A and B are shown apart, each in its own frame.
Chain A
Amino acid sequence: MNFARYLPVLLAFALVLPGCVTPSGSIAALEKRVQQLEDEKQIREVVIRYGEYLDARDYAGYASLFAKDGVWTGGFGSATGPAAIQAMMEKNLGKPEAGFINKQNFHLDTTVVVEVSGDTAIARSRYMFFTTSADSRPSPTLAGRYVDQFVRENGQWKIKLRTSHGVIPYRDGNDPNLPPPPAALKGIIKP
């Protein structure tokens, strides 16, 4: 076979193919992968900010993490949407003090696994709630996990529903009759 005879044809294909086939296809695929990374990053940030806002007693910031039909269910009852959630938090926990710095306790958020499918997502994560021990050391007082249903709202990922499950001590987040929090938390958290 005279390979040289076909060389110009092969070359022409080699030049044309990447130009007309690959870019549009690969850019669309790349765009999808970048979108996935950006979605995951934003959802992880919401999971962290959830704890940070609570620790800072910033209930406006906290409520802004919820979707307009996002539901909060817990010890204070149930509320839907950011305005109602903020009002419920401030009614039960008091208005945040200006310049408040929390030196007593904080949430550690970790082991975040995010599954995005289109404009909805599920994030599973773990938390530890640290308080200050009698000898001024950080003391893990609660350990649990969150299951969050996320929804993309105007390009921003928001919480549609968070279910909080206690692991140590055990509290079933799906049980409407949650047992009271452990005695060690008396005076530290109210819900």
Chain B
Amino acid sequence: MMRAHPGAMALATLIGCFAGPSLLAAATPPQSLEARIQRIDDRMAIQQLLMEYGRAVDNRDFAAFAALFTEDGEWQGAQGSYRGRKEIQESMEKMFTDAAADIPQGKNFHLLTNVIIDLQGDHATASSKFIFYKMNGAKPEAEVAGRYEDQLVRVGGAWKFKQRRALPPG
């Protein structure tokens, strides 16, 4: 059996102390507590943005709805593709005014779920699901289900939609 040389042991301890942590650091870059909290804050803010979208459309508040987008933001869906806050607001107002007989305000809502957010600094992507429920008397009935794919960007400290695409669920 080999006996370890005391000097070799001491060297191994030193390498263990100094090389160990730096090797670990190379594998997974350490994040400051501040950076980790920032990421949690960013996720919470984006979750909130995704929920505000549902609230604005259910309240038919399309000024608030459009304000969730960047100045040059884009909305894409089966109904068309709209760019910029003004066009988004006007198109949504028209879409919901035209459909008011079928989906009057207060008799339907969006259920938003399955949110997954991928952060990259001041940019992010999010994927989520929606179900649009219509009230049939007192009974909620699922009318449409789908998926949102979002490109988000931090503008002046606030997260906004750069692009939202409404797609089939899968």
Report A's interface with B, CB cutoff 8 A: 27, 30-31, 34, 37-38, 41, 45, 48-49, 51-52, 55-56, 100-110, 130, 137-140, 155
Chain A residues near B114 (CB-CB < 8 A): 48, 51-52, 107-109
SS of B interface (majority):
strand
Q: Are A106 and B43 in contact (CB under 8 A)?
A: no
Please report the C-alpha to C-alpha distance between residue A130 and residue B168 in the assembled complex, in whole angstroms: 13
Known contacts A41-B40, A140-B142: A102-B170 contact under CB 8 Å? yes
Q: Are A101 and B113 in contact (CB under 8 A)?
A: no
* 10 A-B pairs with the lowest CB-CB distances in the bound complex, closest first: A102-B170, A138-B145, A138-B142, A106-B169, A103-B168, A101-B170, A34-B36, A48-B114, A37-B40, A103-B170
B114 closest partner in A (C-beta):
A48
Q: Are B113 and A106 in contact (CB under 8 A)?
A: no
Q: Are A139 and B169 in contact (CB under 8 A)?
A: no
Q: Are A27 and B129 in contact (CB under 8 A)?
A: no
Please report the C-alpha to C-alpha distance between residue A96 and residue B40 in the assembled complex, in whole angstroms: 34
Shortest Cβ gap from B33 to chain A (Å): 6
Please report the C-alpha to C-alpha distance between residue A48 and residue B127 in the assembled complex, in whole angstroms: 11
SS of A interface (majority):
mixed
Report B's interface with A, CB cutoff 8 A: 28, 33, 36-37, 40, 43, 113-116, 127, 129, 131, 141-145, 168-170
Please report the C-alpha to C-alpha distance between residue A101 and residue B165 in the assembled complex, in whole angstroms: 15
Q: A30, A41, A105, A110: which contacts B113 (Cβ < 8 A)? A: A110
A-B contact pairs, 22 of them (CB 8 A): A37-B40, A38-B40, A41-B40, A45-B116, A51-B114, A52-B127, A55-B170, A100-B170, A101-B170, A104-B170, A106-B129, A106-B169, A106-B170, A107-B114, A108-B114, A130-B142, A130-B145, A130-B169, A137-B144, A138-B131, A138-B142, A138-B145
Shortest Cβ gap from B155 to chain A (Å): 24
Chain A residues near B170 (CB-CB < 8 A): 55-56, 100-106
B142 closest partner in A (C-beta):
A138
Chain A residues near B113 (CB-CB < 8 A): 108-110
B168 closest partner in A (C-beta):
A103
Shortest Cβ gap from A48 to chain B (Å): 5
Sample of 18 further A-B pairs with CB below 8 A, known A49-B116, A100-B170, A102-B169: A30-B33, A34-B33, A34-B37, A41-B43, A48-B116, A51-B114, A101-B170, A103-B168, A105-B169, A106-B169, A106-B170, A107-B114, A108-B113, A109-B113, A137-B141, A138-B144, A140-B142, A155-B28
Please report the C-alpha to C-alpha distance between residue A151 and residue B36 in the assembled complex, in whole angstroms: 22
Q: Are B33 and A139 in contact (CB under 8 A)?
A: no
B133 closest partner in A (C-beta):
A138
